[in-house]
């Protein structure tokens, strides 16, 4: 009896491995690249972005203009980085590298979405400021967040919909308050789906998360992410996600012919929480128009 149980477990494990191996990786040489700049945003939650006295661009946002539509210009971002680095917006201390590009590629087939991020990770993300918000277990983390179709103004804000003034690591916030979406409703598509790759320390102990953000951030329970793989060659990281188009609760259902709002975030130099470099909001087109167009394989 025991021998039969062991055999079943081994057979199940081998079947799972075979299933993953059977997924044909895209020919990335034939997939277009789209450079997206990620930047250190400091303590600028969605409440700051939408307040006229804080953010002059809030007027355009009320008219329906997107953050990327205003700030993306000639392959770079036209932010006032001096302001983003000052004590008003970054009381803890800004990184020396305020912005860097991430090359984004996407492909899909009948069952899966593939996303690939390539970037040079700066080693000065924590600057010289003393900071408790560091994670020695993981030198680099890279994440993709997909926004549900009913998240208010998701096309404009991207993942800023999950970033609020009372979330942990914001000035004066509670240390245990996690990211959330106002008016979250899992059944009504008012939530965000995200997946993340973590490098481990010194290239050891790599892992991934498949979670979602609704009334709070949940770092587990996702069923769509098949695997997340990363490598570091001379400081150049390549992170590849393989995700089922459909999963379970917390996994946004994706389909050919649709476009979904998304954002990316990269933690380097062992940082955690809001001490990351994050993108503005963009659209991922799956066989449809978008800022990043997933190519059918």
In a domain, 16, yes or no: no
Q: Is residue 10 part of a domain?
A: no
For 186-210, b/e burial (b = at least 16 CB within 10 A) is: eeeebbbbbbbbbbeeeeeebebbb
- SS3 of 231, please? strand
Poorest-pLDDT segment among 13-17, 39-43, 44-48, 140-144: 13-17
Question: Which segment of 84-98, 124-138, 230-244 scores lowest on mean pLDDT?
Answer: 124-138
Q: Report helix, strand and coil shares of the chain as percent, to nearest 5.
A: 15, 35, 50
Q: What is the pLDDT of residue 206?
A: 94
Between 52 and 290, name the one with better pLDDT: 290
Q: What is the mean pLDDT of residues 116-135?
A: 74
Phi-psi region at 123: left, alpha or beta (left = phi > 0; alpha = psi -120 to 50): alpha
Check residue 21 and give its pLDDT.
Answer: 47
Euclidean distance between CA atoms 44 and 20, whole angstroms: 40
Q: What is the pLDDT of residue 2?
A: 47
**Count of domains forming the chain:** 1
Residue at 13 is within a domain: no
Are 21 and 227 contacting, i.e. CB atoms less than 8 angstroms apart?
Answer: no
| Rounded Cα gap, residues 54 and 123, in angstroms | 30
pLDDT at 12 over 50: no
Q: From the centroid of its chain, how far is CA 110? A: 23
Whether the full predicted model's pTM is greater than 0.85, yes or no, is: yes
Q: Spell out the residues 6+ positions from residue 35 whose beta carbon is closer than 8 angstroms to its own.
A: 75, 101, 102, 103, 104
pLDDT confidence of residue 17: 47
Cα-based torsion angle of the residue sequence 243, 247, 252, 257 in order, rounded to the nearest 10 degrees? 70
Q: Is there a domain that residue 5 lies in?
A: no
Q: Which is more confidently placed, 97 or 24?
A: 97
Query: Which helix (DSSP H) or strand (DSSP E) does residue 9 occupy?
Result: helix 2-21
Give 217-260 pLDDT, tens digit per residue: 999 999 999 999 999 999 899 999 999 999 999 999 999 999 99
What are the two backbone dihedrals, phi and then psi, of residue 116, each rounded to the nearest 5 degrees?
-130, 125
Residue 243 lies in a domain: yes
Is residue 123 domain-resident? yes
Provide the pLDDT confidence category of residue 129 given band limits of 50, 70 and 90.
low
Q: Could you read off the pLDDT of 201-219 as tens digits, one per residue?
A: 877 889 999 999 999 999 9
Place of tokens 């940082």: 271
Q: What is the CATH number of the domain that holds 108?
A: 2.60.40.1190
Structure tokens at 291: 């800022």
Whether 52 is covered by a domain: the verdict is yes
Q: Percent of the chain at pLDDT above 90?
A: 74
What is the C-alpha separation between 54 and 31, in angstroms, rounded?
40
Tokens representing residue 184 in the block: 């979250």
Residue 134, pLDDT score? 67
- At a CB cut-off of 8 Å and minimum separation 6, what does 284 contact? 106, 146, 259, 260, 261, 262, 290, 291, 292, 294
Question: Is residue 156 a part of any domain in this protein?
Answer: yes
Query: Do 215 and 180 contact (CB within 8 A), yes or no?
Result: yes
Statement: residue 282 has pLDDT above 90: yes
Give pLDDT, residue 283. Answer: 97
Which residue in the block uniquely carries the two structure tokens 């000035």? 171
pLDDT tens profile 53-80 = 999 888 888 898 999 999 999 999 999 9
Domain encompassing residue 290: 32-296
- Read off the pLDDT band of 136 (50, 70, 90): confident
């Amino acid at each position: 009896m025991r021998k039969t149980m062991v055999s079943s477990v081994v057979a199940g494990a081998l079947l799972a491995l075979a299933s993953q191996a059977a997924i044909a990786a895209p020919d990335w040489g034939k997939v277009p690249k789209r450079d997206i700049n990620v930047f250190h945003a400091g303590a600028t939650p969605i409440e700051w972005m939408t307040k006229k006295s804080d953010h002059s661009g809030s007027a355009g946002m009320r008219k329906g203009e997107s953050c990327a539509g205003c700030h993306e210009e000639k392959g770079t971002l036209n932010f006032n980085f001096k302001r983003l680095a000052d004590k008003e917006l970054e009381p803890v201390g800004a990184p020396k590298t305020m912005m860097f590009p991430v090359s984004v590629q996407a492909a899909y087939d009948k069952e899966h979405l593939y996303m690939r991020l390539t970037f040079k990770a700066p080693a000065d993300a924590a600057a010289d400021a003393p900071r408790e918000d560091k994670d020695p277990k993981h030198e680099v983390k890279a994440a993709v967040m997909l926004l549900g179709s009913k998240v208010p103004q998701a096309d404009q804000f991207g993942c800023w919909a999950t970033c609020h003034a009372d979330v942990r690591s914001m000035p004066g916030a509670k240390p245990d308050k996690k990211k959330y979406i106002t008016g979250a409703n899992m059944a009504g598509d008012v939530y965000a789906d995200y997946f993340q790759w973590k490098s481990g320390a010194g290239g050891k102990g790599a892992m991934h998360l498949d979670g979602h953000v609704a009334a709070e951030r949940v770092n587990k329970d996702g069923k769509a992410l098949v695997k997340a793989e990363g490598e570091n060659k001379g400081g150049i990281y390549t992170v590849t996600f393989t995700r089922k188009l459909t999963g379970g609760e917390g996994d946004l259902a994706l389909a050919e012919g649709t476009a979904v709002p998304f954002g990316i975030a990269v933690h380097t130099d062992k940082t955690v929480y809001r001490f990351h470099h994050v993108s503005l909001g963009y659209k991922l087109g799956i066989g449809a128009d978008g800022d990043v167009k997933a190519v059918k394989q």
